[in-house]
Amino acid sequence: MRFRFNYLLCSPHGPYKSYLHFLISFIASLTLCLYFQRNEKVTVNQKCDEGKVSSSSSPNHQVNSNLDQSYESLLPLIESLRRPTDDGNKRKLFIGVMTAQKFIDYRINHIMETWGQDAKDFIAFFSSSSSKDNHGLPVINLPTVDDSYPPQKKSFLMLKFIHDHFIDSYEWFMRADDDIFINVDKLIQFLGSVNSSKPHLIGQMGLGKIEELGQLGLGDDDNFCMGGPGIIMSSATLRSMIPHIEYCLKHLYSTHEDVEISRCVGTFVGLPCTRSYQMQSLLYHNFSGQIVWSNRLRKILKTALTLHPVKNSSTLYDIYYHMMQIDHENIRFEITKNHRDLRNVEHNYGDLIERQFNLPLDPLVHGDTNSIGTPIELTPKSKDQCLHRSDLITWDFIDRYQYSVKNSNPRRRIDGSLIPALESNLINIVNTINKGSHFRGRIVDFKSLYYGYTKLDPSKGVYYILDLLMTYRRYKGRKYTLPVRKHTYIMQTFSNPIFKEIKSSSQPLESITVNIIVPLSGRFKQFQRFINNFIRVNKKDSNVNLAFILFPDVIDTRNVSIQMKTIIINLMNSGLPIRFAELGGHFSRAAGLQRGASLFKSNDLLFFVDIDITFNLNAIERVRLNTIQGKQVYYPIVYSQYDNQFDIDFNFDQHSDYHNNDNNIIIDSVHGYWRQFGFGIVSIYNSDLINNNGLNLSIQGWGKEDVDLYERLVQSNLTIFRSPDSGLIHIFHQTDCPNGLHGNQYEMCLGSKYNNLASIETMSKYIYHNKIL
């Protein structure tokens, strides 16, 4: 059999001839493959050690011989960025932002006005050699680099420049895009917990898009750091990578520079991108498109170190101002805690502390520490118990609606101010629970609110009791997800009010003349009251002028207009600062106000009011204070009286002069309301009115002209300032809604008419007393 086997194997006519040839060919091919692979590895290693490679056949990847040339014009910028900390140590972080010439005036300028302010001593922007005027911004023009896409060369040479000039000045180096937002302080704090002397490549891990699967040159276990939300390298990583960037730049497998940077680090430093679940929230990238301002973004900002992409400049400012607000809240919270500690010290050791420590603290300087330092407690102490049942602060119940005992509408939608307060508290609760979650390998997310209670104690703060449904996720070890229910108790204590003096004008406020403009048709009794009101104020403040615009052609009020015109002329002759003008045709408030504005110069302060308004000296002072030319318009929220005929407790004999003496006007929820949705009373500089096209003269009759002006001012670059003003009272009068009004005007008129009748409490008493139902 042995002989037979050999014969068959070797015979040219044997059945195993083809198998023999296949086997010999396979062995020979495998041997040659292993041989050339070994030689290729040796050649690559030799090239990497020498740092020299032959020129690539691709003209886009030529490496200029002037790679390490001296940047003489940039020496002042380089020296300022090399400056050590005040104690002589290395700076923590250098941020290199890759940009293009077309974005320098736009994105780069906005960055330096927002988060770049927090990084101005350690940030630089890298652009092409064609960049010309950088407007004093820290821009570095890389020679031999253009703004073409893909920007692999720009990215690698940026890292080369950073290494050559700053490697000994910083611990960490960040490569960022120009459409990123960076929470600089929070990022530096995060990096302070990591050893920069060891190799680290920190970023959000990416694997590429589904359609690019298999086209990025990545192995099964390979990944890369996504460039959008930022790539962070330790000084050790950058030192090890830089000697090989020429080779990496000549051996590109994809058009994505972040993939190639990660590949270069992985090949020559042996370091993959951070594999951490937490990086998704720390270095946040919005896969669905550019980031816009929203309530959801507030939640993301609680944990995010970076945000990408932020292409809209207004969103960038919104994010930055929001972060400043959070920092402000944190500082005030620390102040509150310090006040609480001081109160405890004073309470327990006050007799042992020397007087030089100035305890108790001066309330004018430090605020009332007795209220600010109130300890957190849900149950008041015995000494805080209410003396009367009516003084008890009741809880409001919250689920989908808000239920209140003392509110006239016991079941209503949740108050607008309560919604963002709840959202902010829920975010803080989740962040507190998740503190240190990456060590435990679990995370908790808020899902929904079962129900809650809230109350406001004016002397202490706001209390919450919330029952929450949350999701518990464990992502280390045995992975699982399950719903959990959590009962939370929260007390938001008041902090010390902060007062800041703002000089709104070089001109003293008291010297600014307020020019009151009133359109008028009929209403003689109200006219007399207004004139008397003006005379009283003018005696105390001579920098108040008055302008009446009369409509003498209105048939029903023609005789009254003649009387009013005579009175106005007599007052003008007596020396009062009053002007008047006449307009023909039907009454139009818009036309009257616009005609009144034309009586004054462009730099004059105008105050549009109605004949039914009473005002005092304080109201005039607030008009001056809250109206800033070119910057701010003042829309005071006026207190509007109800019709007292429905008030069964109202004594008409006792209040016979109720409409004539503003000292007798009662301001409470029974006798009137704050007209939050009224926009007819406004103070504005004439130049700002002109720049926003004035009043809409096509609007005739009652209403709508004020809303039209308000909407246009909101869309302008002027700030709208609104505040309740107790010095401005709208005296009740019967509202007549003519049938000739247009549809929207007629509906608005009826709404105003019925709102002015009475409060719900007064109306319910009236109905019950008169047995209407």
Domains of the chain: which residue ranges? 78-208+218-308, 391-493, 509-767
What DSSP designation does 724 have?
Answer: E
Name the CATH code of domain 78-208+218-308 (choices 3.90.550.50, 3.40.50.720, 2.40.160.20, 1.10.10.10).
Answer: 3.90.550.50
- C-beta neighbour count of 598 within 10 angstroms: 13
Measure the CA–CA gap between 722 and 627, rounded to whole angstroms.
11
Both tokens of residue 204? 């959000």
The answer to whether the Cα torsion of 232, 237, 240, 244 is positive or negative is: negative
The pLDDT, as a whole number, for residue 62 is: 37
Q: Does 163 score more than 80 pLDDT? A: yes
The answer to whether the Cα torsion of 29, 35, 41, 46 is positive or negative is: negative
Its pTM stands at: 0.62
Measure the CA–CA gap between 688 and 696, rounded to whole angstroms.
15
Both tokens of residue 378? 């849900």
Mean pLDDT of 565-594: 90
Confidence of residue 396 (pLDDT cuts 50, 70, 90): very high
Are the beta carbons of 610 and 531 closer than 8 angstroms?
Answer: no
Give CA torsion, residues 564, 565, 567, 573, to 10 deg: 160
> What separation in angstroms does the CA of 45 have from each of 42, 53, 157?
5, 11, 22
Q: Does 132 score more than 70 pLDDT? A: no
DSSP H or E run through 308: strand 306-308
Query: In terms of C-beta distances under 8 Å and separation of at least 24 residues, what long-range contacts does 734-737 make, across chains too?
Result: 734/643, 737/702
The DSSP-derived string for 450-484 is: EEEEEEEETTTEEEEEEEEEEEEEE-SSS-EEEEE
Smallest CA-to-CA distance from 470 within 460, 484, 452, 489 is with 484
Are the beta carbons of 551 and 583 closer than 8 angstroms?
Answer: yes
104: burial class by Cβ within 10 Å (0-12, 13-18, 19+)?
buried
What DSSP designation does 718 have?
Answer: S
The pLDDT, as a whole number, for residue 711 is: 92
Residues 6+ apart with CB under 8 A from 14: 7, 8
Q: Does 613 score more than 90 pLDDT? A: yes
Measure the CA–CA gap between 409 and 402, rounded to whole angstroms.
10
Do 509-767 and 78-208+218-308 have the same topology in CATH? Answer: yes
Are the beta carbons of 732 and 643 closer than 8 angstroms?
Answer: yes
The pLDDT, as a whole number, for residue 390 is: 63
Query: What confidence tens digit (pLDDT) does each residue in 278-290 have?
Result: 888 899 999 888 8
Q: Does 23 score more than 70 pLDDT? A: no
Q: Which CATH class is domain 509-767?
A: alpha beta
Query: What confidence tens digit (pLDDT) does each residue in 49-99 have?
Result: 333 333 333 333 333 334 344 467 788 899 999 998 888 889 999 999 999
Measure the CA–CA gap between 731 and 729, rounded to whole angstroms.
6
Both tokens of residue 493? 């204590």
- Cis before 360 (ω within 30): yes
Query: What confidence tens digit (pLDDT) does each residue in 195-221 have?
Result: 988 999 999 998 777 667 767 777 767
- Cis before 410 (ω within 30): no
The pLDDT, as a whole number, for residue 350 is: 66
The pLDDT, as a whole number, for residue 61 is: 36
Residues 6+ apart with CB under 8 A from 765: 648, 649
Measure the CA–CA gap between 113 and 181, rounded to whole angstroms.
12
Helix axes 75-82, 152-166, angle to 10 degrees: 60
The pLDDT, as a whole number, for residue 49 is: 37
Are the beta carbons of 303 and 282 closer than 8 angstroms?
Answer: yes
The pLDDT, as a whole number, for residue 51 is: 35
The pLDDT, as a whole number, for residue 216 is: 79
Smallest CA-to-CA distance from 645 within 756, 752, 735 is with 756
Smallest CA-to-CA distance from 620 within 631, 605, 604, 632 is with 605
Measure the CA–CA gap between 605 and 628, rounded to whole angstroms.
9
